[in-house]
Amino acid sequence: MNTVEGEEHLDRLPTAEPESRSLLEMLIISKKNPVYIAQRFIYVLCCLVSSYTYAWFAAFAPPERDTTAFYIMLAFEFQFLLSILVTFFVEFEVEG
C-alpha cells in the first residue's frame, strides 16, 4: 500500500457526500412500506363501512352540515381521494 504516513485512517472515514437519489426515486412508494400497508388496510375498511353508511344516507336523507355524520362522510371522501393520489406514486411491478 502506497500511502503517506498518518493518512491510513482516511480510507476508513465515511464520505461527506450524501447518497444521491433522484427526485423520482424519492417519490416512489414501496409496496412493502409499513405506512402504505396501513393506509391500504384503512382504505379497505372505509370501502366496507362506507357502503353501509351511504346506503343509510340514501334511505334517510344525506347528512346536514356540521353534524357527526357529515364529518364521517368527509373522512371517507378524503380517504378515497388519498388512495387515488397514492396509487400514482406506488412502485410498478410487472406480473408474470
Q: Which residue type is seen at 83?
A: S
Domain count, the chain: 1
- The answer to whether position 59 is within a domain reads yes
- The answer to whether position 12 is within a domain reads no
Whole-model pTM?
Answer: 0.69
Give per-10-residue mean pLDDT for the chain (96 aa): 57 62 82 92 96 94 92 95 93 84
CA triple 96-41-92, angle to 5 deg: 30
Residue 52, domain extent: 32-90
- The answer to whether position 52 is within a domain reads yes
Write out the three cell numbers for 26. 424519492
The DSSP 8-state label assigned to residue 67 in this structure reads S
- The answer to whether position 76 is within a domain reads yes
Cβ proximity of 91 and 30 under 8 Å: yes
Helix (H, G, I), strand (E, B) or coil at 14: coil
In the prediction, which pLDDT does 52 show? 95
Measured CA to CA in angstroms, residue 20 lies from 23, 26, 78, 85 at distances of 10, 10, 34, 26
Measured CA to CA in angstroms, residue 30 lies from 23, 33, 50, 75 at distances of 15, 5, 27, 25
Helix (H, G, I), strand (E, B) or coil at 28: coil
